[in-house]
């Protein structure tokens, strides 16, 4: 099964600039004035132009806003050099929400894009999450 990642943004061209600069993604297909496909990650990322203040779906009381918001799902980007990734993303317009933290499994940077979406950079060390897992993955020996 494949999956796609869709992100609502209020300024499509600004979002293209951010995601291509911060993550090295490349523009694939364009879908009129309202969408673009970004390629280069493990799954395509689709940026969807949606005006602030519009309902999330028909007759919904929730309306889109692009200030920092919490959602129970976010993207983690696994990187080899977390400091370089943070620097690149911040220079492209992201916000580092707290200093990078170090854990048994690696380093973590809590970030937000210019459209209010939270994301993290993860830099694994050693065996990554297997350092803290209660049982090892069958392929780890």
Instruction: Give the tens place of pLDDT for each residue, 88-139.
Output: 999 999 999 999 999 999 999 999 999 999 999 999 999 888 888 987 556 6
Share of the chain above pLDDT 70, in %: 96
Rounded to an integer, the average pLDDT of 2-26 is 95
In the chain, DSSP finds a helix count (H) and a strand count (E) of 2, 9
The CATH number of 66-141 is which of 3.40.50.300, 2.60.40.10, 3.30.1780.10, 3.10.180.10? 3.10.180.10
Beta-bridged to residue 78, according to DSSP, are: 122
The second-level CATH assignment, the architecture, of 1-52 is Roll (3.10)
What's the predicted TM-score (pTM) here? Answer: 0.84
Q: Which residue has the tokens 């392929």?
A: 139
Domain residue spans of the chain: 1-52, 66-141
What is the token pair recorded at 121?
């950079």
Q: Do domains 1-52 and 66-141 have the same CATH topology?
A: yes
């Amino acid at each position: 099964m494949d999956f796609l990642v869709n992100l609502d943004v209020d300024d499509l061209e600004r979002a293209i600039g951010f995601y291509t600069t911060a993550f090295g993604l490349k523009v694939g297909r364009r879908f009129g004035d309202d969408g673009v496909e970004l390629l280069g990650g493990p799954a395509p990322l689709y940026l969807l132009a949606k005006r602030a203040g519009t309902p999330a779906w028909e007759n919904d009381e929730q309306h889109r806003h692009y200030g920092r918001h919490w959602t129970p799902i976010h993207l983690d980007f696994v990187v080899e050099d977390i400091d370089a990734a943070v620097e690149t993303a911040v220079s492209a317009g992201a916000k580092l929400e707290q200093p990078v933290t170090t854990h048994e499994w690696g380093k973590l940077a809590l970030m937000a894009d210019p459209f209010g979406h939270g994301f993290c950079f993860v830099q694994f060390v050693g065996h990554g999450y297997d350092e803290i897992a209660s049982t090892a993955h069958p392929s780890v020996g």
